[in-house]
Amino acid sequence: MDSLRTTNLNGETSRLLAGKYSDPVFGSTQAQALMQYRSSNISTVIPASAVYDSIVLQMRFDFYSYGSIGETTQTYNVHEVATELNLQQDYFFNSDVSVGRVPIGTSTIKVNHDFFKKEFEDTDADSVLTTRIKLSDGFGLRLFEAVDPEDVNYTDFELFKAIFKGLAILPEQSDKIVGLNPSDLNSSLILYYHDGDSKKALSFVFSQGVTFSKILTDRSSTELSGLDQFHTDFDPGMKSYLQGGTSIITKLDFSKFYEYMDTVSNVIVNSAELEISGIETSSIFKAPRGLSVSMLRLNNRFKTFTNARDTVDYINFNGTLALGDQLKFFVANDAGQIFSMGYSTTNNVYAGFPTLFFQKLFDLKTNQFPYWALRSSDPQPGKSVDRLVFPKDKIKLKIYYTRSILDK
């Protein structure tokens, strides 16, 4: 699918992805982190006698890590963004945004996957780990000279971002994709200068601008090499696949459910269980913690509110659908929130019980909705590259029901 939003919005996980890794099944995946910046205090005056010192990009890791295990060296280059970003626009994993050809900074660090994993899973952890990248003095001087509280080109962000379009972190040498938190107080662009013996610093923040991840993939030498068209059915054989970041989904077809339910009447669904077993496990490429199910149109686009028919359909489901990202229609659990199939590492099984939803599918069977998308819900697919492989014959829908004794 080509509609996977990676823009960070308020109220959800704030994460940029940067790095790259190679997967024998999904090919090579690369993530680039792009961000706008603005002054944290536009009223700060830099005296005419002040002298520029340096400029540093500091980013806090949020400890998401995907790719090789152990401690390995990662090298990142920082480039200036060459395309002006629109604050009112969503950006996607494949948005056409260009960056400058020549890097303005480089950083080489060691990332320990085991440490990142421990910190990521520890919800009480307060560890702070940042990377500091010194940027070129040419860029720093341009920004230093632009600081002027009386200049509208500096104080009006709409004008400022047309001149200073943003920064992009691109992987150079890397075997992991890591998460960076652009909204954290430890993430900023810091301009250092001095005035006499007084050392000063002015910070530029990312939290109020556009921040998103651009994700590139090369599947040409894998079993998914034929998966090169958006919204098009692709049958790779005996397996099914999902991948966050690159927006690979598994399409579910509930036609057999409708075929069977057409043979019975007055059905009361006592329990509906959706289960996936036989997950291909990997010490390197972990599976998502949870999966969700969203509605597809007959043309393989996600169902959203685009016409009156969509509104009627949503109302007819009477609470058994929930709205997700960009108002997509998701299966709801019996409490009305987005349904999620949790993953049991012990049993190597995903399972969930959307009972009321399947009762409603039966009730609405004269107007069928056969096609649905199986996709990651935890972590969010736009904030991760977690992937999943399982045998096609290991996904099952189990319906337990009762019906009137007068039915034949």
The residue ranges of DSSP E strands in 96-243, in sequence order, are: 105-112, 130-134, 167-173, 176-181, 188-195, 198-205, 211-218, 239-243
Global confidence as pTM: 0.94
Q: Which two tokens stand for residue 121?
A: 């899973």
DSSP 27-85: EEEEEEEEE--EES-TT----TT-EEEEEEEEEEEEEEEEE--SEEEEEEEEEEB-SPP
Q: Mind listing the pLDDT tens digit for each residue in 163-177?
A: 999 999 999 999 999
Q: Mind listing the pLDDT tens digit for each residue in 99-130?
A: 999 999 999 999 999 999 999 988 776 688 89
| pLDDT at 11 (0 to 100) | 86
Backbone Cα Rg of the chain: 25
> What mean pLDDT do residues 325-347 have?
95
| pLDDT at 395 (0 to 100) | 96
Convert 196-227 to b/e letters by CB count within 10 Å (16 or more is b): eeeeeebbbbbbebbbbbbbebebeebbbeeb
Q: Is 318 exposed, middle or buried (0-12, 13-18, 19+ CB in 10 A)?
A: exposed
Per-residue pLDDT band at 269 (split at 50, 70, 90): very high
Residue 404 pLDDT exceeds 90:
no
> What mean pLDDT do residues 79-93 have?
97
Residue 337 pLDDT exceeds 70:
yes
Q: Which of 1-10, 74-83, 119-128, 250-259 has the lowest mean pLDDT?
A: 119-128
What are the distances in angstroms from CA 197 to CA 144, 190, 290?
18, 19, 56
